[in-house]
């Protein structure tokens, strides 16, 4: 049984972990435990505040500066009374009362889901905390539903998905992903001290700058060892993480929708559901934390989790906006010869699109470039044995477009302010149903009329002047309604065209999260395709997302200092693609590309569906090592990359992981079969000179 309930306390158990909380003697819903599963149910602690913190003294409670809410680690604090920790909920009632006092009402357990019903002590406001146990993945999912059961509106000013508590009294380090455009997913580690560390997006998308992922450890965890508590928010808009250490040694990570500029008018009879936060604990370091998320994403989140993704060609870095039938056919011929399986035409194909000044919004083929529509090109691509994919950027409009001339009021704006353009484009207000319907109709038509099996959905700017002048209700609902609008469009299109694989791109990795992965199988990780930079970007990305979601192209970036082999090896660590100007590649390059593509096709089940091990980190080591192992631990592949070592004579040793200790394995390039234990303990020396790389396959003996 995964959920144990007794005397108003609950223990949620996964395969290896447990999470416990209950109603405190004071009536507050208090957190009690999150960590390794313990042998007996009685092992889980009771009221922490009573047993541990106060230890027989009531001094903290009595002294007026420290309300009980500051001492009891609450599951869902609301800032009621003398409580000054970060609340999860902030609301104003119609009479001006600005706090919420939640009382426990009842609990419901159904299979793997627990609902805790709370109700305001005075007002008809219900808050239901939802917990779902994902046993096999050692994860717990939390979300919250708030219902207005009264007859006057309630204004929500903050409504977070969860507050996750770390064991009380510990000293912790926060690990997070930081970045910017073309430099996403940089791993940062910093100690948590008293106060609040905030990570957030205010950009209307997830953003390149931070990702809604946290990993908290005791400062000593590595890839294989140590306690790590980690979590994500499945949301593609403004979000916030507040990692707080209180003055009573309580560390908690709150996560949810960003409350910055947020308001939601909860009308009588209506409810509001937060996005989910999914979190877990492991005592096996950051490597295991990633694997739990990867399995969960592949098996429960993405639409085509079991599918192997095709090797694609993308036109962007080759032709930019200069696409037409004959040039694309030229590329398609070379691509097919190399073994590419999916031909994707990027930006530039639609009405009036010759540069980034015009066209967005007019989603039909440009009459000059494609006088007979897209079908002749698509047919040619099919004849060459490849599938066809297309780029779109549906949320955007150029002022120079038919759509904008017809509907200038469809964009996000304040009427009295200039409309700040980003890349000469404005953002359509996706909160408006008529905008959603326009996009659904246009893209639906494209997909119905053309045999397209892959769509790259892009989004190339962040918000400005976040106005919604003709909103019928609270205009600050824009932040949430926009994202829900995007989800509705995407979901409708997915339902109508279930065979299509979607890629989420926002100028690279600006929209990478578990919310969008419900629709998109892949993420375009970064516009930075320089392989040396990619090593770090991909390593950071791998903390959250599996390689099956990571589209990685070999382009001409870095060709002046990196061999083609190196560039291929980096991209082979994800879903391999080619984005180079193939017309400039000679016979030698084409032959080499063929070789790597063929190898990739052999090993992609291991890469896309297996387990990843980060053997050397571009953030801390002078080499990068990445290993993938099939789930049955029978086959694997090792990649090693050396950028620059002051002493290139010193041996570079990789210690493989994930092998069965007593099974015999052969590793390509090394004589003889040895036990998994031997390879893992003694390692393999990879001879690399500066700016070189290697790939080695691993075979287990039956």
> Which residue numbers are catalytic?
458, 527
Taking the least distance from each CB to ligand DGJ, the nearer of 527 and 611 is 527
Residue 460 in the binding site for ligand DGJ (CB under 6 A): yes
Q: By Cβ distance, which residue is nearest to ligand DGJ?
A: 347
Task: Work out how close the CB of 579 gets to ligand DGJ at its nearest, in angstroms, rounded to a whole number.
Answer: 8
Strand pairing category for 9-13 and 17-23: antiparallel
Q: Is the dihedral of CA 545, 546, 549, 550 positive or negative?
A: positive
Spatial distance between the Cα atoms of 555 and 568, rounded to a whole number of angstroms: 9
Stretch that binds ligand DGJ, among 327-335, 500-508, 565-573, 640-648 (CB under 6 A): 500-508
- Exposed / middle / buried, residue 644 (Cβ in 10 Å: 0-12, 13-18, 19+): exposed
Least distance between ligand DGJ and beta carbon 342 (Å): 15
Would you state the structure tokens that stand for residue 425, as one six-digit string?
A: 């484009």
163 binds ligand DGJ, rule: CB under 6 A: no
Nearer Cβ to ligand DGJ (286/388)? 388
Quick note: the x/- pattern for ligand DGJ over 387-426, rule CB under 6 A, is ----x-----------------------------------
Q: Which is nearer to ligand DGJ, 287 or 510 (CB)?
A: 510
The one among 75, 120, 227, 346 contacting ligand DGJ by CB under 6 A:
346
Residue 558 in the binding site for ligand DGJ (CB under 6 A): no
CB of 78 or CB of 183, closer to ligand DGJ: 183
Nearer to ligand DGJ, 182 or 384 (CB): 182
Contact between 527 and ligand DGJ per CB under 6 A: yes
Q: Which is nearer to ligand DGJ, 176 or 353 (CB)?
A: 353
How far, in Å, CA of 453 to CA of 391, rounded? 11
CB 411 within 8 A of CB 426: yes
Q: Map residues 581-620 to x or -, x wherever contact with ligand DGJ holds by CB under 6 A.
A: ----------------------------------------
DSSP string, 165-203: EPPTT---EEEEEE--TTS--EEEEEE--SEEEEEEE-S
| Helix (H), strand (E), coil (C) string for 646-692 | CCCCCCEEECCCCCCCCCEEEECCCCCCEEHHHHHHHCEEECCCCCE
Cβ–Cβ < 8 Å for 505, 457: yes
Contact of 478 with 468, CB cutoff 8 Å: yes
Q: d(Cα 535, Cα 542) in Å, to the nearest integer?
A: 11
- Of 414-422, 504-512, 633-641, 670-678, the window that binds ligand DGJ (rule: CB under 6 A) is 504-512
Q: Tell me how far, at minimum, the Cβ of 185 lies from ligand DGJ, in Å.
A: 14
Applying CB under 6 A, among 35, 87, 507, 616 the residue interacting with ligand DGJ is 507
Nearest-10 crossing angle of helices 433-449, 478-496: 20
Nearest alpha carbon to residue 362 among 399, 327, 390:
399
The count of C-alpha atoms lying within 13 angstroms of the C-alpha of 9, restricted to the half-sphere facing its C-beta, is 19
Listed ranges 25-33, 185-193, 502-510, 638-646: which one lies at the site for ligand DGJ (CB under 6 A): 502-510
CB of 508 to ligand DGJ, least distance (A): 5
Cα–Cα distance for residue pair 553/646, rounded to 1 Å: 29
Closest approach of ligand DGJ to the CB of residue 567, in Å: 17
Asked if residue 11 lies in contact with residue 4, where contact means CB atoms within 8 angstroms, the answer is yes
The least CB distance from residue 245 to ligand DGJ, in Å, is: 38
Q: Give the distance from CA 581 to its chain's centroid.
A: 30
Residue 316 CB, nearest approach to ligand DGJ (Å): 4
How many residues touch ligand DGJ (CB under 6 A)? 11
The one segment of 371-379, 505-513, 617-625, 688-696 that binds ligand DGJ by CB under 6 A: 505-513
The interface with ligand DGJ within residues 282-341 (CB under 6 A) comprises 316
Give the residue with the Cβ less far from ligand DGJ, 319 or 609. Answer: 319
Nearer to ligand DGJ, 46 or 579 (CB): 579
The whole-angstrom separation of Cα 425 and Cα 429 is 13
Which residue lies nearer to ligand DGJ by CB, 347 or 477?
Answer: 347
Closest C-alpha to 508, from 98, 180, 282, 67: 180
Q: In angstroms, what is the minimal distance from the CB of 348 to ligand DGJ?
A: 8
> Minimum distance from CB of 453 to ligand DGJ (Å)?
18
Q: What are the φ/ψ torsions at residue 542 (nearest 5 degrees)? A: -70, -15
- The least CB distance from residue 521 to ligand DGJ, in Å, is 17
Residues 63-122 that bind ligand DGJ (CB under 6 A): none
Among 524, 600, 628, 679, binds ligand DGJ (CB under 6 A): 524
Q: Between residue 630 and residue 669, which ones bind ligand DGJ under the rule CB under 6 A?
A: none
Which of residues 264 and 391 has its CB atom nearest to ligand DGJ in the complex?
391
Taking CB under 6 A as the rule, does residue 508 contact ligand DGJ? Answer: yes
Applying CB under 6 A, does 350 fall inside the site for ligand DGJ? no
C-beta of 266 vs 390, nearer to ligand DGJ? 390
Does 546 contact ligand DGJ by CB under 6 A? no
Residue 384 CA to residue 330 CA, distance in Å, equals: 11
Tell me whether residue 184 or residue 477 sits nearer to ligand DGJ (CB atom): 184
Distance CA 593, CA 651 (A): 29
Residue burial 331-352, b: 16+ Cβ < 10 Å; e: rest: bbebbbebbbbbbbbbbbbbbb
Least gap, CB of 346 to ligand DGJ (angstroms): 5
| Dihedral sign from CA coordinates of 644, 646, 651, 652 | negative
Q: Are 72 and 26 in contact (CB under 8 A)?
A: yes
Angle (CA) 618-623-624 rounded to 5° is: 60
CB of 460 to ligand DGJ, least distance (A): 5
| CB count in 10 Å sphere of residue 109 | 16
Query: Which residue of 141, 458, 477, 611 would you call a contact of ligand DGJ, by CB under 6 A?
Result: 458
Considering only the stretches 147-155, 279-287, 400-408, 503-511, report the one whose residues sit in contact with ligand DGJ under the rule CB under 6 A.
503-511
Q: Of 62, 28, 64, 33, give the one whose Cα is nearest residue 46.
A: 33
- Token readout for 390 is 């297309």
Task: Rank residues 460 and 635 by Cβ distance to ligand DGJ and give the closer one.
Answer: 460
Q: Taking CB under 6 A as the criterion, which residues in 22-61 touch ligand DGJ?
A: none
Instruction: Give the separation between CA 256 and CA 258, rounded to whole angstroms.
Output: 6
When binding is defined by CB under 6 A, the residue of 344, 493, 505, 603 that contacts ligand DGJ is 505
> Shortest gap between Cβ of 324 and ligand DGJ (angstroms)?
16
Give the range of 164-172, 441-449, 501-509, 620-628 binding ligand DGJ by CB under 6 A. Answer: 501-509
Percentage helix, strand, coil for the chain under 3-state DSSP, each rounded to 5 = 25, 30, 45
Q: Are 435 and 485 in contact (CB under 8 A)?
A: yes
CA 559/CA 488 separation, integer angstroms: 42
Question: Among 259, 347, 477, 513, which residue interacts with ligand DGJ (rule: CB under 6 A)?
Answer: 347
Residues that bind ligand DGJ (CB under 6 A): 316, 346-347, 391, 458, 460, 505, 507-508, 524, 527
């Amino acid at each position: 049984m995964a959920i144990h309930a007794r005397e108003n306390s609950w223990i949620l158990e996964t395969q290896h972990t447990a999470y416990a909380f209950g109603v405190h003697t004071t009536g507050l819903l208090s957190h009690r435990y999150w960590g390794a599963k313990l042998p007996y149910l009685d092992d889980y602690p009771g009221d922490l505040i009573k047993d541990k913190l106060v230890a027989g003294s009531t001094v903290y409670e009595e002294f007026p500066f420290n309300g009980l809410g500051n001492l009891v680690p609450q599951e869902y604090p609301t800032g009621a009374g003398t409580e000054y920790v970060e609340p999860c909920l902030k609301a104003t009632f119609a009479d001006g009362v600005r706090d919420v006092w939640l009382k426990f009402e009842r609990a419901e357990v159904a299979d793997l889901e627990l609902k805790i019903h709370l109700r305001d002590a005075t007002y008809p406001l219900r808050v239901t905390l939802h917990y779902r146990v994902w046993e096999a993945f050692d994860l717990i999912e939390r979300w919250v539903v708030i219902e207005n059961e009264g007859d006057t509106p309630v204004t929500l000013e903050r409504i977070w998905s969860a507050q996750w508590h770390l064991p009380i009294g510990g000293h912790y380090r926060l690990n997070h992903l930081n970045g910017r455009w073309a430099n996403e997913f940089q791993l940062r580690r910093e100690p948590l001290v008293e106060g609040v560390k905030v990570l957030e997006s205010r950009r209307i998308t997830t953003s390149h700058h931070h990702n809604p992922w946290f990993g908290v450890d005791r400062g000593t965890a590595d890839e294989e060892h140590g306690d790590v508590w980690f979590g994500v928010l499945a949301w593609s808009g403004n979000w916030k993480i507040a990692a707080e250490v209180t003055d009573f040694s309580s560390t908690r990570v709150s996560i949810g929708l960003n409350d910055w500029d947020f308001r939601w008018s909860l009308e009588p009879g209506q409810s509001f559901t937060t996005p989910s936060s999914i979190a877990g604990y492991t005592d096996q370091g950051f490597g295991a934390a990633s694997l739990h998320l990867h399995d969960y994403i592949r098996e429960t989140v993405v639409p085509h989790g079991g599918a192997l993704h095709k090797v694609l060609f993308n036109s962007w870095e080759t032709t930019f906006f200069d696409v037409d039938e004959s040039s694309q056919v030229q590329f398609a011929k070379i691509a097919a010869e190399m073994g590419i399986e999916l031909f994707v035409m990027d930006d530039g194909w639609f009405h009036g699109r010759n540069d980034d000044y015009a066209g967005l919004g007019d989603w039909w083929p440009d009459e000059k470039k494609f006088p007979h529509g897209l079908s002749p090109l698509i047919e040619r691509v099919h004849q060459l044995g490849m599938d066809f994919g297309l780029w779109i950027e549906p949320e955007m409009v150029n002022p120079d477009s038919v759509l904008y001339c017809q509907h200038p009021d469809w964009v996000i704006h304040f009427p009295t302010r200039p409309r700040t353009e980003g890349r000469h484009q404005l953002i359509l207000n996706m909160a408006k149903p008529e905008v959603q319907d326009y996009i659904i109709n246009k893209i639906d038509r494209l997909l119905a009329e053309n045999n397209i099996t892959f769509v790259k959905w892009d989004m190339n700017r962040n918000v400005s002047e976040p106005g919604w002048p003709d909103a019928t209700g609270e205009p600050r609902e824009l932040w949430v309604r926009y994202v829900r609008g995007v989800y509705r469009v995407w979901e409708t299109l997915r339902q109508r065209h279930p065979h299509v694989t979607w890629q989420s791109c926002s100028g690279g990795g600006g929209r990478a999260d578990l919310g969008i992965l419900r629709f998109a199988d892949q993420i375009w990780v970064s516009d930075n395709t320089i392989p040396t930079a990619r090593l770090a970007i991909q390593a950071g990305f791998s903390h959250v997302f599996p390689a099956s979601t990571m589209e990685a192209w070999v382009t001409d970036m870095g060709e002046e200092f990196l061999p083609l082999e190196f560039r291929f090896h980096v991209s082979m660590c994800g879903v391999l693609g080619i984005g180079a100007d193939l017309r400039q590649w000679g016979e030698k390059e084409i032959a080499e590309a063929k070789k790597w593509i063929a190898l990739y096709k052999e090993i992609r089940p291991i890469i896309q569906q297996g387990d990843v091990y980060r053997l050397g980190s571009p953030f801390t080591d002078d080499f990068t090592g990445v290993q993938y192992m099939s789930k049955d631990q029978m086959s694997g592949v090792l990649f090693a990359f050396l950028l620059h070592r002051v002493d290139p004579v010193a041996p570079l040793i990789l210690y493989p992981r994930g092998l069965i200790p007593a099974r015999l394995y052969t590793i390509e390039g090394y004589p003889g079969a040895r036990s998994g234990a031997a390879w893992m303990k003694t390692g393999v020396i990879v001879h690399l000179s500066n700016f070189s790389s290697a790939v080695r396959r691993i075979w287990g003996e039956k």
